[in-house]
């Protein structure tokens, strides 16, 4: 084999991503230089933030440029190496992009142990989504024992861990998810105290029933109407780690902020945006805790692995915004 393939941005999407926004390019197989190694990638992580990376608007990271390989966390195995720290056969995860092979000098690359957890989990619950849950909940949300924590997108990669970590910290934990199957997963498998279905049309009432003492921490993944309903039920001095806004990711018109914005004032809430990269130097701490809890069977993780390779990237990514996934969405190469 002397060729490889990569997925590159061909045009900026308007609204939902379409397959024609990407081009699959056939390329010569790259050879590692001094101190470098080549990874054969096996799984690509699909994350809600990806839609933002495709917009030209200034954000916390520069946009993916036209012609560039689509940015992604992915994982695989070293298959050629001039770097003794990363020998052939070593499993690794990192920001390798959506491609079949990548060259790296090891910067920012995580060596992973597939005896502790299967490979795709290292771009899931033990990867960026896991670190996001860990720091967002504990450092930004700062839940105290006995408080009520609500998390939206509760069956998703980040939400499922936020709730489980909050349970480990002695909180009452209520998820918000779409449909009875996801809600059952959140309570029966993940052990949340309750999960309310935002699709029933009675979210406000259902949430109030599930949170009789109000809400102290709301881990925000979705925005839109759900945020407004939650804001209304926040307790004084509540905290809102603001992690994502799935509802607005594909919007083509400006979306208004919450109508209950003033509740931030009257209830003296703290809304704080964060991204996991702000905690980059503390990732070993997150990995240590997540790995330990996972090893003890106290953190359940589930991947939703899709086939179809590079060609399926756009359609698979869109499932994140319509809630079509069940667990951490991963594309197999």
Binding site for a second copy (CB under 8 A): 52, 58-60, 223, 236, 242-245, 248, 254-275, 278
Are 6 and 27 spatial neighbours (Cβ–Cβ below 8 Å)?
Answer: yes
Nearer to a second copy by C-beta: 63 or 179?
Answer: 63
Nearer to a second copy by C-beta: 66 or 259?
Answer: 259
Smallest gap from Cβ 216 to a second copy, in A, equals 15
Smallest gap from Cβ 264 to a second copy, in A, equals 4
Kindly state the tokens that stand for 191. 């052990």
Run of H or E including 161: helix 157-168
Nearer to a second copy by C-beta: 3 or 251?
Answer: 251
Report which DSSP code applies to 123: G
Q: Tokens 């756009």, residue?
A: 314
User: DSSP assignment of 281-321, as one string?
Assistant: GGHHHHHHHHHHHHHTT-S---EEEE-SGGGGHHHHHHHHH
Smallest gap from Cβ 6 to a second copy, in A, equals 27
Smallest gap from Cβ 262 to a second copy, in A, equals 5
Kindly state the tokens that stand for 115. 């005896």
Smallest gap from Cβ 158 to a second copy, in A, equals 13
Nearer to a second copy by C-beta: 60 or 67?
Answer: 60
CB-neighbour burial class of residue 313 (10 A; exposed 0-12, middle 13-18, buried 19+): buried
Which residue from 71, 75, 90 is spatially nearest to 43, judged by alpha carbons?
A: 75
Kindly state the tokens that stand for 183. 């809600």
Helix (H, G, I), strand (E, B) or coil at 68: coil
| Cα→Cα distances 154→12, 131, 160, Å | 30, 16, 5
Nearer to a second copy by C-beta: 64 or 330?
Answer: 64
Say how far apart CA 198 and CA 177 lie, in whole Å.
6
Smallest gap from Cβ 261 to a second copy, in A, equals 3
Nearer to a second copy by C-beta: 128 or 333?
Answer: 128
Nearer to a second copy by C-beta: 44 or 140?
Answer: 140
Nearer to a second copy by C-beta: 51 or 306?
Answer: 51
Smallest gap from Cβ 114 to a second copy, in A, equals 33
Partner residues linked to 3 by β-bridges: 28
Which residue from 57, 89, 69, 75 is spatially nearest to 9, judged by alpha carbons?
A: 69
Q: Tokens 């990867």, residue?
A: 127
Smallest gap from Cβ 242 to a second copy, in A, equals 5
């Amino acid at each position: 084999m002397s060729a490889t393939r990569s997925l590159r941005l061909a045009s900026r999407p308007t609204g939902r991503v379409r397959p024609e926004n990407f081009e699959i390019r056939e390329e010569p197989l790259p050879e590692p230089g001094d101190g470098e190694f080549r990874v054969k990638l096996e799984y690509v992580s699909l994350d809600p933030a990806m839609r933002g990376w495709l917009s030209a608007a200034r954000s916390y990271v520069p946009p993916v440029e036209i012609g560039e390989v689509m940015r992604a966390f992915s994982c695989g195995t070293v298959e050629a190496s001039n770097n003794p720290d990363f020998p052939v056969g070593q499993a690794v995860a990192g920001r390798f992009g959506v491609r079949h092979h990548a060259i790296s000098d090891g910067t920012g690359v995580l060596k992973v142990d597939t005896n502790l957890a299967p490979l795709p989990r290292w771009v899931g619950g033990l990867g960026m989504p896991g670190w996001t849950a860990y720091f967002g909940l504990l450092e930004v949300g700062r839940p105290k024992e006995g408080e009520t924590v609500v998390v939206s997108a509760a069956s998703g990669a980040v939400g499922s861990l936020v709730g489980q970590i909050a349970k480990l910290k002695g909180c009452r934990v209520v998820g918000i998810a779409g449909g009875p199957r996801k809600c059952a997963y959140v309570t029966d498998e993940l052990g949340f105290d309750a999960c309310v279905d935002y699709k029933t049309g009675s979210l406000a009432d259902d949430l109030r029933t599930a949170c009789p003492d109000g809400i102290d921490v709301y881990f925000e993944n979705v925005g839109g109407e759900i945020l407004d309903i939650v804001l209304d039920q926040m307790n004084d001095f509540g905290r809102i780690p603001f992690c994502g806004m799935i509802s607005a990711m594909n919007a083509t018109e400006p979306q208004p902020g919450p109508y209950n914005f003033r509740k931030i004032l009257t209830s003296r809430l703290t809304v704080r945006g964060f991204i996991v990269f702000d905690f980059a130097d503390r990732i070993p701490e997150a990995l240590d805790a997540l790995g330990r809890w996972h090893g003890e069977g106290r953190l359940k993780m589930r991947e939703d692995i899709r086939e179809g390779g590079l060609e399926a990237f756009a359609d698979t990514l869109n499932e994140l915004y319509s809630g079509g996934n069940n667990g951490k969405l991963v594309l197999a190469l």
